[in-house]
Structure 1
Amino acid sequence: MIFTLSEGNPEQKILVREAIEEGGLDKIDQIVEAVRACGALNYTSQKVREQSEKSIASLQALPDRAYRDAMIDLARFAVARTF
């Protein structure tokens, strides 16, 4: 929703701002569509991939241990999850 407030068209920005100010779920379908339409999900997915790659690169400097591997798996899971 933050991305939509920043990058959405004027109608999307108003919709999200009003939803935040008023609360409630009566316009949730419209809000979800606004978030999708302005590219917020694609932007967020790209940022998650970038941060995951940075995390994995940093973790590679640690000794090869189960804990390091678990953190790498967690970073990969954060990118791959669909829920």
Structure 2
Amino acid sequence: PGSVSYYSSEEGFVISGDALFQGGIGRTDLVGGSQEVLLQSIHDKLLSLPESTLVLSGHGGETTVLTEQEQNPFIHGFSL
């Protein structure tokens, strides 16, 4: 709870912090964490960005919205 991401439409990138990683998502086993809430937030806020948006996370390599939509195992299996 309380995490933020920063999006620059002019530059075509989002700093996703600890929400969305290359091939993964943030931890939900900490106090107040909820995998359902995190996945819903990723779906509504990050995956709604243009597919070409560069995703810069708090850990790991860079990726794109499209790559995570297609290849991230946590997101690929998520249904609303």
State whether TM-score is above 0.5.
no
Using structure 1 for the length normalisation, give the TM-score: 0.29
Which protein has the bigger helix share?
Answer: 1
Query: TM-score scaled by structure 2?
Result: 0.30
Q: Which has the higher contact order (CA 8 A, sep 6+)?
A: 2
- Structure with higher strand content: 2
